[in-house]
Structure 1
């Protein structure tokens, strides 16, 4: 995985090669969004989680809270720029979620939700996740869903062998208008060099369509029965 971009004192992104040159389109995106955020805190507070890959259904054993309150852009970059992204292991996941919501299907905010998932080549994965995270926390995604009465819950990046699975979670997995609005916003707001080259590289899936969803929810509702079945 490539290292995250280093930010200068004015929060402008700097190229990893030290040249100081970045694509004009991406610079414009950052200037527009960061210009809005610099004077004010985020509308919502966010938390950063780390999920270790495991066959266990007990999230207390594999889900770790890394930072419980990301309230503004400065805090985000203090966390983001100091995180050892190159040390994230295969099939492990980093989540940025609204504070108070766990990045699991069985959380009350996620029970009826779903997510867009993008398979991103490893060379572009860090830049892709960086922009997705900014668009999420800057309320760009939420603004697109306001008219459809839906909510963006968080974003995730999961390491695979030669790619990353980067997901955007929303609250209503049956709200087709909101789902389409979220897709359109991603495709329109991402820097051109990061946009998916094919619609086959991303998909939407409701959480309840996953094989382990029912068992995870039942274990949450009846934890005693789940323990006895082990």
Structure 2
């Protein structure tokens, strides 16, 4: 198993523009499956990114900010990575963690994502986000969404006043499946039926990204 735990501590480095730390490595090679470990239905990759500043607010800047932290094909490999991760409350604002199926990059332009969308949950700052992120990741790894191959990945986005968790799926036009994913999220997080979840297509997100004037990232 290949892991780059130091990638989750990039914010501690004084030179975030070092070429060795860019997101140029998009594949860690084949996943190893040791005897005796519990194989997952799908292999996954964990990615880390910090939002580009105003000067580089474009899709190229975003792709350069991605770091592939590690990959997993078994339950034991997942816990091996998760137990070494920096806790969410220790990471700076505008940090994102992405857990995606291996072979799918956490970008709107990836072929698996172009026709998809995401359910977005907004949470107040605090430990609630960490527990929700863990529960949804475990549910995805354990196929508890009952969505077949429709789920692409899950993202937690840390902001100043709130945190966002997004569940990405392949087909935005499949209303039955998107509703099933929404209901699974409410069940897994024990949310009331009235809880507000927002669905956004990646096409709309990309349009908004291109047309909204960038705001400087606060330090």
Same fold at TM > 0.5: yes
Count of equivalent residues? 168
Listed as ranges, the matches of 1:75-90 within 5 Å are: 75-85=77-87, 86-90=89-93
Residue 196 of structure 1 and its aligned partner are, at CA, apart by: 5.5
- Shift of the 39–196 alpha-carbon distance from structure 1 to 2, 3 Å rule, reads farther
CA offset at residue 102 of structure 1? Answer: 0.3
| Residues 1:179 and 2:181 are matched in the alignment | no
Query: Taking structure 1 as reference, are residues 135 and 164 closer, same or farther at Cα in structure 2, changes over 3 Å only?
Result: same
Q: Give 3-state SS (helix, strand or coil) of 2:46's partner.
A: strand
Q: Displacement, 1:73?
A: 1.5
- Across the aligned residues of Structure 1 and Structure 2, the Cα RMSD in angstroms comes to 2.1
The two structures have a TM-score, normalised by structure 1, of 0.67
Structure number with greater Rg is 1
Name the CA distance, whole Å, in 2 between partners of 1:188 and 1:83: 26
1:40 aligns with 2:38: yes
Shift of 1:83: 0.8
Unaligned regions of 5+ residues in structure 1, if any?
A: 1-37, 216-230
- 1:95 is displaced (CA, Å) by 0.2
Please give the secondary structure, in 2, of the residue aligned with 1:136: helix
In structure 1, how many angstroms separate the alpha carbons of the residues matched to 2:108 and 2:187? Answer: 28
CA apart distance, 1:164: 0.9
Matched residues in 2 for 1:84 and 1:188: separation?
Answer: 27
Corresponding residue for residue 208 of structure 1:
203
**Which ranges of structure 2 fall in alignment gaps of 5 or more residues?**
1-35, 211-219
Structure 1 contact 208–214 (Cα < 8 Å) conserved: no
CA drift of 1:197 comes to 7.7
TM-score (norm 2): 0.71
Cα distance between partner residues in 1 of 2:114 and 2:58: 19
